[in-house]
Structure 1
Amino acid sequence: MGEKIMFGHSNMDLDCFGSLSMARYLYPGHLMVRSGRIHPVAKNLYTVYRDHLEMITAKELKKHSIDEVVIMDTRQYDRVKEYFRFIPDFSGKITVYDHHCETDCDIPGASVYDGDFGANTSMLCMELLKRDIHVDENDATIALAGIYADTGNFSHGNVTGRDFQAAQYLMEHGASLNAVGKLLSKLREEHQVSLFHRLLNTIQFHNIQGYSIITSWMKLEGQMAGLAAVIERIFEVEDADAYIAVFELEKEGSHLLIGRAGNPRIDLNIIMNSFGGAGHPQAASALIKNSSGFPIYAHLLNMLEQRLKHALTSMELMREAVTISRKMTLLDSALRLEESGNSGAPVVDEDERLVGMITLRDIQKGRKAGQMNAPVHAYMTRNVIHADRNTTIREIEQMFYRHDIGHLPILEDEKVVGQVTRSDYIKFLQNNGDFREIIPQE
C-alpha cells in the first residue's frame, strides 16, 4: 500500500504554509511536501519552523510510492506540476482545498472543496472547529500568519466573518500575535529599504477611468528577495486605488509585475492573468519570461485604459434631492427635514439654484435663540461644497475628509439634482462587496 502526501502550490506563501499546518490534523499520517521555491515573504517562517513542520522536498517523492494526494490553495495544474513531475505514474485519489472559487479546476480527477474565505487557511480552520479538533500552538501561529497575510491584516475586500472566526479559533489554541507580527514585519533587509526609496522616486501617477493608479518601472539584474514586501509598503504609503510595479530582469530576460489594489472594483487577478500570472483580486503578480525588448510597461498602461470601466460616480450613490426654499422659515425647514428623514438639505432660490445648506444643527441654533420663524437664509451655510454627476466616489470621499461635511449636493446646470450624505457613503463602504465586475472576463 502506498503513502499519502499533501502539498501546496509552487512558490509557497504564508497562506500555503498555514493551510498545510491545519491540514495535518485533518489528514494525520500524510507526508507534507515542500516546493522547491518558497515565496520571500514566507522564508522567515519556514526557517523558524522548519523542524516543526518536518517537510520532505518534491525531489524526495521519487523514493516513495504515492496513492493519495491532498493539494492546498490552488486548483491549477501548472502551479503543482513540479510535484507530479516526480510521481509520473500516480493514478490515485486527489483532493483539493482551494478558496479561489472563481478559478476552474484543471487537475484531472480532483475533488474540490472550496468556499467564500479571505484566506485558504480559514477554510481548514473552520473544518477543524466543526470537528472540535485541537491544534498545537506552533501550528496555530503558522496558520494565523497565513490568515493575516492573505487577508491583508483583515483589510481586503474578500474577508468574511469566518476569517475572524478562524483567527479566534487559533488564538484560543495559543497562536502568538507577537510571533505573527515579527514574521509579517516588512523591509527587514537593507536592500529592501534601499529599493523602497528608489521606487518612490520612479512612481508615476495616473488617472485611469476615474481611478487613481500609480505605477513604476525599474531595471534589476534579477529577482530579489522581499520585492512584494516593498510593493506593499509603498502601497500603504501612497493614497491610490492600485499600484503596479514593473521590473525588467536583465539577466533573466524577463519582466516581473507585482500589484496591490485597495479598490474592490479593481481585480488584479484578472489583470495579471492577461500576463500569465495569478493571485487575488487585491494582490497578484506575473512573471513574463523571454520578454526582453518587449514594451511591457506601455502594454500594461494601454491595457488598463482599455479594460477598466469607469469608476463609480455620484450617480450610483446619490439620493433624491430634498430641497429647502430660501424663503422658508426655520420651523418649516425643520418640518420638511423631519418628514423626509434627512438631517440636512440644500437651500435653493426661485430658479432652483443652490444658494446654501441647512442642517438640523443649524436649526437647533435658531431654536435656542427663539428664532424659529426667522428665514432659513439667516442660518444656512453659504459657499457650499458641491459635486456633479461625474464626480467619482473617490473624489467624494476626499471632499468629506478634507472639508468635514456631512451633505454634498449634486448639481447639473447649476441646479440640484441630488445629494450624497455621510451615511450614504458609510453604506457604500459597508456594501462594497456588491460592486464588482469592473474588469469583464473575456
Structure 2
Amino acid sequence: MQIVTTHKNTDFDAFASTVAATVLYPGTIAVLPKSANPNVKAFLSIHKNMLSIYTSDEIDMNQVNHLIVVDVNRWDRLDGMEKLKQKQGLEISLWDHHLNDGDIEANWKCREDMGANITLMIRKMREKNETLTPMLATLFLIGLYEDTGNLRFPSTKAEDAHAAAYLLEQFADLNVLNSFLRQPYGEKQKNILFEMLKTAERTSVNGYNISFSKMDIEGHVGSLSVVIQMYREIMNVEAAFGIFSNKGQNRCMVIGRSSLDSLDIGTIMRALGGGGHPGAGSAMLKTTDPDAVEAMITDLIQGNQQASVQIGDIMSFPVITVSPDTKMQEVAMILREKGCTGVPVIEGEKIIGIISRRDFRKVRKDSALNAPVKAFMSKNIITIEPGRSPMQAARLMVKHDVGRLPVVENGRVIGIITRSDAMNYFYDLLPNR
C-alpha cells in the first residue's frame, strides 16, 4: 500500500500537493492530518464526493510500504505516522519546496526552492502529459496562489507563474478560487484586530521595521492569519508577529507575516517548532509568556541577519580618498578617471567630509577649481558599519538622499558602498569574487 500525507494545520498548497500525488502515483491513498485550515475544510466539505480522503486512523500502517510526503520534511509535523518512522524497508518519496534541514530520510526526493510546492508537482504532470479536470486544476491553482500570495510574495519564482498559466489553460475556475481564498473575517476577528491596533508599537531589529502584538485569547479563534496580514499592512511595517496566549490550554500561538524575502518568517517559525515560508508562518509553543516569545523571535531575527549578506561582503575597497587640501580641479580629474561619483575626504585616518559630482554645482567660477576641496565638500557625513545589511544601506541612502556610504570600522574608513552596489545586490548582478 502506498499513501501520501502532509503537515498538520494543512493549508491549500499542502492539500493540493497531497491530491496531486494521487495523480502522479496511481493507486495512492491520500491521508490528511486531522487539523486543517478552515478554508481547506470548507473545500473538502463541498467536494467530498469528488475526492477520496482518509485520516491516519483509517489506515493499517502495517500494510504501508511506500510513504509519499509533500510540503514538509519533518516527522514531528506529520499526523499519525509514528509507526512508519521506525518501519524497516519503508520506501519514502519526498516533495518539498522548503530547503531547510529536516529529519525525513527519503529514498527519492524532489526538493527545490519554489514559491509553492504544487508547482514542482505540476512540472512533473506536464512532463507526463497528465490530463486535469477543471476541479483539480482549480484546487492546484488555489494552492499555488495561496502560497505565493497571488504571485506577489518575494519567494515567487517564474515557474510558479508558468504553472499558474498552465492551470488556467486547464480551465481552473477563478470564481471558485476567489471564494475559498477569501478567508472568513467576522466580528471576532475584527475585535481582535481593533485591540491589537490600540496597543500597537513599532520597533527596529537590525534595521527591520517590526511590530509585535501580544494578546490573551480564549478557545479557538479562526482566521488569525488574516488578522495578522491586515495588521502588518495597516501598521506599514516589514514584518508583524502576533503572539496569542491561551492560558487555559497553557500554550501560545505565534503567527508572522513579512514583506521581505530577507526576513524569512518560515526559518524563524521552524526554529520555534512550527513552519512556513519566507512571507508567512506560524508555530505553537507550550508557554504562556508572550514576552519570552518576543525575545526569542528578536534573537532569531538578529541571528538570521548576522548569517546573511553584510555590507562588508559587497562594499568596494580599497577606497579612493582625497585630503582636505586637494584642489577641486584634481578631484574632478580623479572622479573622471576612476569613474567615481564621489569620494571621502580624509584627514589623518578620520573622515571629515564627502565630495561628489553634485558639489561641483557650487563652483561658480573657473578660478574656484584651484580652491581646496574642504571649501566645497559636504560635512554631513552618513556612514555605515560593515556588519549592517544591504537593506539598511539602501534605507540610509534614500532617507538622506546620498549616493554612497563610507563603511567605517573603529573610526577608520575601510570601504564604500554606492547605490550601484546596493542595487546590484538586490538584482543579483554581483560578480563572483
TM-score range, shorter chain: 0.7 to 0.9
Structure 2: stretches of 5+ with no match in the other structure: none
Aligned to 1:308: 302
**Quick one: distance in 2 between partners of 1:433 and 1:407?**
17
Structure 1: stretches of 5+ with no match in the other structure: 435-442
**Quick one: distance in 2 between partners of 1:84 and 1:349?**
66
Aligned to 2:383: 387
Partner SS for 2:249: coil
- Deviation, structure 1 residue 287: 1.7
Equivalent residues of 1:10, 1:82 under 8 A apart? no
Aligned to 1:396: 393
**Quick one: distance in 1 between partners of 2:284 and 2:226?**
17
Q: 1:426 aligns with which of 416, 423, 428?
A: 423
The alignment status of 1:257 with 2:251, answered yes or no, reads no
**Quick one: distance in 2 between partners of 1:273 and 1:115?**
18
The alignment status of 1:246 with 2:243, answered yes or no, reads yes
Aligned to 2:217: 220
**Quick one: distance in 2 between partners of 1:237 and 1:433?**
35
Equivalent residues of 1:7, 1:72 under 8 A apart? yes
Aligned to 2:116: 119
Paired AA for residue 308 in structure 1: Q
The alignment status of 1:200 with 2:197, answered yes or no, reads yes
Aligned to 1:11: 9
State the Cα RMSD in Å.
4.3
Matches within 5 A, 1:55-66: 55-61=53-59
**Quick one: distance in 2 between partners of 1:145 and 1:96?**
21
Over the matched positions of the two proteins, sequence identity in percent amounts to: 25
Q: 1:298 aligns with which of 292, 297, 322?
A: 292
Matches within 5 A, 1:231-380: 231-264=228-261, 266-289=263-286, 291=287, 294-301=288-295, 304-305=298-299, 308-309=302-303, 311=306, 314-320=311-317, 321-323=319-321, 333-342=331-340, 344-346=341-343, 348=345, 353-359=351-357, 374=369
More deviation, 59-68/143-152? 59-68
- Deviation, structure 1 residue 226: 0.5
TM-score normalized by the length of structure 2: 0.77
Partner SS for 1:129: helix
Cα pair distance change 1:180/1:317, threshold 3 Å: farther
**Quick one: distance in 1 between partners of 2:113 and 2:61?**
37
**Quick one: distance in 2 between partners of 1:126 and 1:118?**
13
More deviation, 195-204/50-59? 50-59
Deviation track 1:47-72 (CA, whole Å, cap 9, x = no partner) reads 56545444344444469976644332
**Quick one: distance in 1 between partners of 2:429 and 2:192?**
34
Partner SS for 1:420: strand
Cα pair distance change 1:139/1:400, threshold 3 Å: farther
Partner SS for 1:42: helix
Partner SS for 1:104: coil
The alignment status of 1:148 with 2:142, answered yes or no, reads no
Matches within 5 A, 1:39-188: 39-40=37-38, 42-47=40-45, 49-61=47-59, 68-82=66-80, 93-106=91-104, 111-154=108-151, 156=153, 158-176=155-173, 179-185=176-182, 188=185
**Quick one: distance in 2 between partners of 1:267 and 1:362?**
40
Cα pair distance change 1:372/1:104, threshold 3 Å: farther
Cα pair distance change 1:50/1:323, threshold 3 Å: farther
**Quick one: distance in 2 between partners of 1:178 and 1:391?**
48
Paired AA for residue 148 in structure 1: Y
Aligned to 1:38: 36
Paired AA for residue 214 in structure 1: S
Cα pair distance change 1:170/1:227, threshold 3 Å: same
Deviation track 1:271-320 (CA, whole Å, cap 9, x = no partner) reads 4345433334543322234x4xx535325415744883365664444323
Cα pair distance change 1:353/1:362, threshold 3 Å: closer
Number of residue pairs matched? 423
Aligned to 1:230: 227
- Deviation, structure 1 residue 370: 9.9
TM-score normalized by the length of structure 1: 0.76
Equivalent residues of 1:348, 1:354 under 8 A apart? yes
Cα pair distance change 1:333/1:169, threshold 3 Å: farther
Cα pair distance change 1:94/1:314, threshold 3 Å: closer
User: Which structure has the higher relative contact order (CA within 8 Å, separation 6+)?
Assistant: 1
More deviation, 245-254/273-282? 273-282
Paired AA for residue 404 in structure 2: H
**Quick one: distance in 2 between partners of 1:27 and 1:372?**
82
Deviation track 1:2-47 (CA, whole Å, cap 9, x = no partner) reads 6x54332232111112213433331234343333221235345445
Cα pair distance change 1:117/1:95, threshold 3 Å: same
